[in-house]
């Protein structure tokens, strides 16, 4: 029996070219012929691959598409219909779960009580800063006026005459 197998091997390799010890005995997996000589990776003129491989793109589904798929999935009653739908559309069951949650969340937000009355007015962010500056200046003014009143009373008690400031008071 071993002799028969050896003869079959000889018959199949009669027309094949001889191979050295480092070469593979099977055809390359890319579908090319095994008799084609490969370019060595150590060659000095290595040619880069001109194909630019784009990174994977995340698929985006419109709201209309999601609702259509959910309606089809909800309408399916038989076993395997949802699986057929998912295979046909190239989707995963997790898509359905996620989209159903989104649909429920949207329904809940629509049912929530909305705040009544006029909408709050948008204020300029500089307005708060100006109001704080105004309040600070008013506090300084009040403190300065208090100091001036104390000085007037002290001058009156000590008998020091003050110059009339009637001109400034009219401004």
Q: CB atoms < 10 A from the CB of 82, how many?
A: 16
- Can you give the pLDDT at residue 8? 53
Same domain, 68 and 103: yes
Question: Does the residue 124 lie in any domain?
Answer: no
| 45 phi/psi in degrees, rounded to 5 | -105, 70
Residue 29 lies in a domain: no
Question: 42-45 long-range CB contacts below 8 Å, 24 or more apart?
Answer: none
Please report whether residue 103 resides in a domain: yes
Per the structure, the complete domain to which residue 137 belongs is given by: 130-161
Neighbours of 61 (CB within 10 A): 13
Residues in the chain, how many?
A: 171
Interatomic CA distance for residues 63 and 106, integer angstroms: 12
Q: What is the pLDDT of residues 44-83, one digit of tens each?
A: 578 877 787 778 888 899 999 999 999 999 998 888 999 9
Does residue 74 sit in the same domain as residue 104? Answer: yes
User: Would you say residue 17 lies in a domain?
Assistant: no
Lowest-pLDDT choice from 40-54, 93-107, 145-159 = 40-54
* pLDDT value at residue 109: 85
How confident is the model at residue 163, as a pLDDT?
78
d(CA 23, CA 40) in angstroms, rounded, equals 12
CA distance 99 to 105: 10
Average pLDDT value for residue range 80-103: 94
* Average pLDDT, integer, range 102-110: 89
Question: Total structural domains in the chain?
Answer: 2
Q: Which of 106, 80, 82 is CA-nearest to residue 94?
A: 82
* Position 123 in a domain: no
Residue 167 lies in a domain: no
Average pLDDT over residues 92-107: 93
Domain for residue 43, yes or no?
no
Q: How far apart are CA 34 and CA 28, in angstroms?
A: 6
User: What is the pTM for the complete model shown?
Assistant: 0.39
Residue 81, in any domain of the structure: yes
Q: What is the pLDDT of residue 92?
A: 94
């Amino acid at each position: 029996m071993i002799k028969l197998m050896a003869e079959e091997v000889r018959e199949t390799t009669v027309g094949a070219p001889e191979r050295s010890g480092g070469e593979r005995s099977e055809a390359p997996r890319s579908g090319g012929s095994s008799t084609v000589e490969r370019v060595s990776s150590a060659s000095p003129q290595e040619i880069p691959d001109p194909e630019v491989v784009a990174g994977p793109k995340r698929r985006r589904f419109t709201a209309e598409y999601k609702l259509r798929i959910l309606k089809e999935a909800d309408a399916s009653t038989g076993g395997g219909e949802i699986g057929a739908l998912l295979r046909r559309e190239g989707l995963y069951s997790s898509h359905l779960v996620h989209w159903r949650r989104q649909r429920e969340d949207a329904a809940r937000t629509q049912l929530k009580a909305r705040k009544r009355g006029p909408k709050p007015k948008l204020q300029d962010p500089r307005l708060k800063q100006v109001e704080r500056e105004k309040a600070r200046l008013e506090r300084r003014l009040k403190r300065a006026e208090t100091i001036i009143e104390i000085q007037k009373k002290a001058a009156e008690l000590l008998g020091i005459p003050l110059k009339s400031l009637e001109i400034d008071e009219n401004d």
